[in-house]
A and B are shown apart, each in its own frame.
Chain A
Amino acid sequence: MNGRVITVTSGKGGVGKTTATANIGAALADLGKKVVCIDADIGLRNLDVVMGLENRIVYDIVDVVEGRCKLRQALIRDKRLEELYLIPAAQTRDKNAISPKDMVRVCDELRKDFDYILIDSPAGIERGFKNAIAPADEIVIITNPEVSAVRDADRIIGIVEAEQKGPAKLVVNRINMDLVEKGDMLAVADVLELLAVDLIGIVPDDQAVLVSTNRGSPIALEARSKTGQAFRDVARRLTGEQVAFTKANGGGFLGRISQLIRTGSRPGSK
């Protein structure tokens, strides 16, 4: 096997990186892929909680890097999905506990056994972020339809380009159709116009996500959830499948985008 390393990052904190990682990971595993999620947020680990695996942690990534355990021993198997694994971060250390080189080494080893290696990056552009993107074949940027989040995403895209990590892919998370309609929120078209990268997902703002992350059960596995569907679509697009943006999973954004092309005006601008 020759797995692909995909790093999920955002620049700004709180936009939903960890939730997205857990859900995309679960959705990929649900498609029958062998997936491992790595929490690169050392010192502030969260991914284990969101995936509901906190109580199973014995070893973490710092233990692997510092040679206290074998890589295999740090892999935690998911409760529901056979082919989904987690390598947790250490909570008692900081980002300097591992280096970008360590991440590359760990990922190279994982590539042999997994189809996808998803890395949940910490916020910021410092060491933790550098660790997270060092081994990446592909970068997925999560942003919210807010000016500050988009600004940070823009900066991250610039850094990713400079690091030669290929064109980043974008997921716009927590879009609220009511606010967009009122002109109080940026529309996906506005975000895309500025960032000019490939869009691979539009995820609606949904309180059910909060409930599912608190319960440690990814919403991507809830067949009837529209938000879950949005994450499943992201996963399918990552596998190379062409999935159209439909009303059901994005609230008719494509209509807005084609409208934009026709009229040459920008929806959502004051």
Chain B
Amino acid sequence: MSVQIKGIREGLLVSVDEGEWTEAEKGLLLELERQKAFLKGARLILDLESHEINAVAMSHLRDQLSDQGLLLWGVLSQSPLTERSAQAMGLATRIHGSEPEPEEEAAAEEPETPADGPAVLLKKTLRSGVNLTHQGDVTVIGDVNPGAQIVAGGNVVVWGRLRGLVHAGAKGDESAVVCAMELSPTQLRIASHIAIPPQESGKPGPEIAFVREGQVVAEEWAPAGASPE
């Protein structure tokens, strides 16, 4: 995986691949283009690792991002040259202690991430029109409103009300689950199964949805051993 996108307090933290800059930049722009719908209007913080980027290349990058409707807000870098050119353009080069918070939390609570890509943690409410697509697991701390959409290769956990459209195991993983404090999505998909939940699903409480014998079922989300099998 070359480009990773994480939600942090300041915006979206995008990690860029190591290696030749022109290649890495191409990969970055391609990935951002692909995820345009989700990223539109977002503030970006690029983690450029040790890439050496002068002021000209940096302003070129910013222009290309703004052409895609993206605002470059900050740059993290281990290279003094890159940091200087970012500062010269008025970009932030430090985000509270320069350590993205989701990383700490993810590391603390889930030491073992599944092989199909790391998890993304979003601490905000997804409003109508937002599309979050991610290869791995998705955790949202906030609500997912009607009209918003989450497509994840892995599991989806919503610490809030899930009322939008959600697709877990989008690449065909039938063991993927969807959990929410209030599970009332417009439509719920797991792998190739599509379910339209009943309008009134009893008392609103934490629920987990998964595939059992070819059917999407939702059960009360018990504290332990909640996942199927």
The residues of A with any CB-CB pair to B shorter than 8 Å are: 151-152, 154-155, 157-159, 161-164, 194, 196, 270
Contact A155 B128 (CB under 8 A): yes
CA distance A157 to B143 in the complex (A): 14
Q: Could you tell me which residues of chain B, from 14 to 57, have a CB within 8 Å of some CB in chain A? A: 40-43
B127 to chain A: closest CB distance in Å? 3
List, in ascending order, chain B residues with CB within 8 A of A270's CB. 199-200
List, in ascending order, chain B residues with CB within 8 A of A163's CB. 41
Query: Which single residue of chain B is at the shortest CB-CB distance from A147?
Result: B146
Q: Which of B42, B43, B127 contacts A155 (CB 8 A)?
A: B127
The residues of B with any CB-CB pair to A shorter than 8 Å are: 40-43, 125-130, 143, 145-147, 163, 199-200
List, in ascending order, chain A residues with CB within 8 A of B43's CB. 162, 164
Q: Which of B130, B199, B200 contacts A158 (CB 8 A)?
A: B130
List, in ascending order, chain B residues with CB within 8 A of A151's CB. 128, 146-147
Query: Which single residue of chain A is at the shortest CB-CB distance from B41?
Result: A162
List, in ascending order, chain A residues with CB within 8 A of B163's CB. 194
Q: A194-B145, A270-B199, A270-B200 are in contact. Are A155 and B129 (CB under 8 A)?
A: yes
A-B contact pairs, 22 of them (CB 8 A): A151-B128, A151-B146, A151-B147, A154-B127, A154-B129, A154-B145, A154-B146, A154-B147, A155-B127, A155-B128, A155-B129, A155-B147, A157-B127, A158-B128, A158-B130, A159-B129, A161-B127, A162-B41, A162-B42, A163-B41, A164-B43, A270-B199
Contact A196 B129 (CB under 8 A): no
CA distance A253 to B147 in the complex (A): 27
The 10 closest A-B pairs by CB, nearest first: A158-B127, A162-B41, A155-B128, A154-B128, A155-B129, A154-B127, A154-B145, A151-B128, A151-B147, A157-B127
CA distance A155 to B41 in the complex (A): 12
Total A-B Cβ pairs within 8 A? 37
A119 to chain B: closest CB distance in Å? 19
Q: Which of A152, A159, A196 contacts B143 (CB 8 A)?
A: A196
B180 to chain A: closest CB distance in Å? 15
12 additional contacts (CB under 8 A) given A154-B145, A194-B163, A270-B199: A151-B147, A152-B128, A154-B129, A154-B147, A155-B127, A155-B147, A158-B128, A164-B43, A194-B145, A194-B146, A196-B143, A270-B200
Contact A196 B147 (CB under 8 A): no
A115 to chain B: closest CB distance in Å? 30
CA distance A152 to B147 in the complex (A): 9
List, in ascending order, chain B residues with CB within 8 A of A159's CB. 41, 129
List, in ascending order, chain A residues with CB within 8 A of B145's CB. 154, 194
CA distance A162 to B143 in the complex (A): 17
B214 to chain A: closest CB distance in Å? 31
A147 to chain B: closest CB distance in Å? 8
CA distance A196 to B227 in the complex (A): 31
CA distance A148 to B42 in the complex (A): 25
List, in ascending order, chain A residues with CB within 8 A of B130's CB. 158
Residue of A155, A161, A163 ringed by the most chain B CB atoms within 10 A = A155
CA distance A161 to B7 in the complex (A): 15
CA distance A163 to B41 in the complex (A): 7
List, in ascending order, chain A residues with CB within 8 A of B129's CB. 154-155, 158-159
Residue of A162, A196, A270 ringed by the most chain B CB atoms within 10 A = A162
List, in ascending order, chain B residues with CB within 8 A of A194's CB. 143, 145-146, 163
CA distance A162 to B126 in the complex (A): 12
A55 to chain B: closest CB distance in Å? 40
CA distance A220 to B146 in the complex (A): 34
List, in ascending order, chain A residues with CB within 8 A of B147's CB. 151, 154-155
CA distance A159 to B128 in the complex (A): 10
